[in-house]
């Protein structure tokens, strides 16, 4: 499938049964909710998807099932997060063979590679596949930054065309845009900086809380890109306390609690993660409950070309 790196692309959670197997029934329910809300792609097997705990066969299963659910309506993106280049290349091949439409590639795991090593790692993976690639740039969590100068080399590869920008330095979006124009697509990966990022030029949003609130997330994107900044901002301000649940070491547990509250997920996580306990659990539940009690009525964000600002008000 040919597609553009733009729009809302949920980094979906992996659903588990009480017996710690993949919960395909609830997984399907969530993916369908995302598609119904109008998302523009699905990202599997990221940190929010508990990738480090998944087996190779489970990752293949998730790709194949998501491809079946999507039925060509939106692209299916698989995350590559491996320790060794050989393993990453094998994972990329398996993703392509299983029907994935694109890859989101993280830098080497655990080893803090040099700039040269990082560039070589990404290039070796790109050479091994025809799938389009989005580089995940998250030095906060992974301790490796992909700089503007490094991207100058990386975009020489025909299939490296996008970045998930998660440096939390919003100025970096301007740096990348000034250097590459539209030659490098930029998708923000930090939920509480999403609207700001979209308004200064990001092409899309690889989102987390979208897993529980797909319609609100897509509405913000569509409104912002259509020029309805006031309307987008009002929803975003309501959403912000929930979005901040995404920038926590326990983001998986936080977002799965939110999915339970909106009826499109379960709380089950895979060890060593455990469900939230005590005061922190109560704090997160209060954030979710307040968000639900004040949930805004959304405009017809799927048909903005037929609306006027008066109709949106």
12-47: pLDDT as tens digits: 999 999 999 999 999 999 999 999 999 999 999 999
Q: Distance (Å, rounded) from C-alpha 90 to C-alpha 73?
A: 27
Q: What is the pLDDT of residues 76-128, one digit of tens each?
A: 999 999 999 999 999 999 999 999 999 999 999 989 999 999 999 999 999 99
DSSP 172-201: HHHHHHHHHGGGSEEEE--GGGHHHHHHTT
For residue 1, name the pLDDT band (cuts at 50, 70, 90): confident
Could you tell me the residue range of the domain that residue 214 belongs to? Answer: 7-312
Residue 257 lies in a domain: yes
> Residue for token digits 């997160």?
284
Residue 2 lies in a domain: no
For residue 309, name the pLDDT band (cuts at 50, 70, 90): low
Residue 1 lies in a domain: no
Is the pLDDT assigned to residue 229 strictly greater than 90? yes
Residue 248 lies in a domain: yes
Structure tokens that stand for 229 in this block: 């900044």
* Tally of domains within the chain: 1
- Which phi and psi (to 5°) does residue 206 adopt? -85, 105
For residue 305, name the pLDDT band (cuts at 50, 70, 90): confident
Question: In whole angstroms, how far apart are CA 247 and each of 131, 180, 268?
Answer: 29, 28, 20
User: Given this model, what pLDDT does residue 311 score?
Assistant: 57
Q: What is the pLDDT of residues 135-172, one digit of tens each?
A: 999 999 999 999 999 999 999 999 999 999 999 999 99
Mean pLDDT, residues 249-271:
98
Is the pLDDT assigned to residue 310 strictly greater than 70? no
Structure tokens that stand for 105 in this block: 């590639």
Are 241 and 287 in contact by the 8 Å Cβ rule? The answer is: yes
Are 53 and 270 in contact by the 8 Å Cβ rule? The answer is: yes
Mean residue pLDDT of the chain comes to 96
User: Given this model, what pLDDT does residue 306 score?
Assistant: 47
User: Given this model, what pLDDT does residue 9 score?
Assistant: 98
CATH number for the domain spanning 296: value is: 3.20.20.70
Share of the chain above pLDDT 70, in %: 97
Q: What is the pLDDT of residues 193-220, one digit of tens each?
A: 999 999 999 999 999 999 999 999 999 9
Are 95 and 103 in contact by the 8 Å Cβ rule? The answer is: yes
* Residue count of the chain: 313
Question: In whole angstroms, how far apart are CA 142 and each of 30, 38, 137, 138, 167?
Answer: 28, 30, 9, 6, 10
For residue 134, the SS3 value is strand
**C-alpha closest to that of 145 among 105, 109, 118:** 118
Mean pLDDT, residues 271-288:
98
Residue 68 lies in a domain: yes
DSSP H/E element including 133: strand 133-137
Residue 272 lies in a domain: yes
The total of other beta-carbon atoms located within 10 Å of residue 73's CB is: 9
């Amino acid at each position: 499938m040919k597609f553009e790196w733009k729009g809302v692309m949920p980094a979906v959670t992996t659903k588990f049964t009480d017996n710690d197997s993949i919960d395909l029934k609830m997984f399907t329910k969530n993916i369908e909710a995302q598609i119904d809300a109008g998302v523009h792609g699905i990202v599997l097997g990221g940190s929010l998807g508990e990738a480090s705990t998944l087996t190779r066969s489970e990752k293949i299963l998730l790709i194949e099932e998501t491809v079946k659910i999507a039925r060509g309506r939106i692209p299916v993106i698989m995350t590559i997060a491996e320790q060794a280049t050989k393993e990453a290349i094998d994972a990329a091949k398996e993703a392509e063979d299983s029907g994935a439409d694109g890859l989101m590639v993280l830098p080497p795991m655990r080893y803090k590679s040099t700039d040269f090593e990082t560039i070589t790692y990404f290039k070796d993976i790109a050479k091994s596949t025809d799938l389009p690639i989005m580089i995940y740039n998250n030095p906060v969590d992974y301790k490796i930054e992909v700089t503007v100068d490094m991207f100058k080399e990386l975009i020489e590869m025909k299939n490296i065309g996008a970045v998930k920008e998660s440096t939390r330095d919003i100025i970096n979006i301007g740096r990348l845009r000034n250097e590459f124009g539209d030659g490098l697509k930029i998708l923000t990966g930090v939920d509480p900086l999403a609207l700001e990022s979209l308004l200064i030029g990001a092409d899309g949003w690889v989102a987390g809380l979208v897993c529980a609130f797909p319609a609100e997330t897509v509405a913000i994107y569509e409104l912002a890109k259509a020029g309805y900044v006031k309307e987008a901002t009002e929803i975003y301000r309501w959403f912000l306390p929930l979005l901040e649940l995404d920038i926590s070491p326990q983001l998986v547990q936080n977002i799965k609690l939110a999915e339970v509250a909106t009826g499109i997920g379960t709380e089950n996580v895979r060890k060593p993660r455990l469900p939230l306990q005590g005061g922190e659990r109560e704090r997160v539940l209060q954030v979710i409950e307040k968000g639900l009690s004040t949930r805004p009525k959304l405009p017809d964000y799927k048909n903005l070309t037929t609306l006027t600002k008066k109709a949106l008000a």
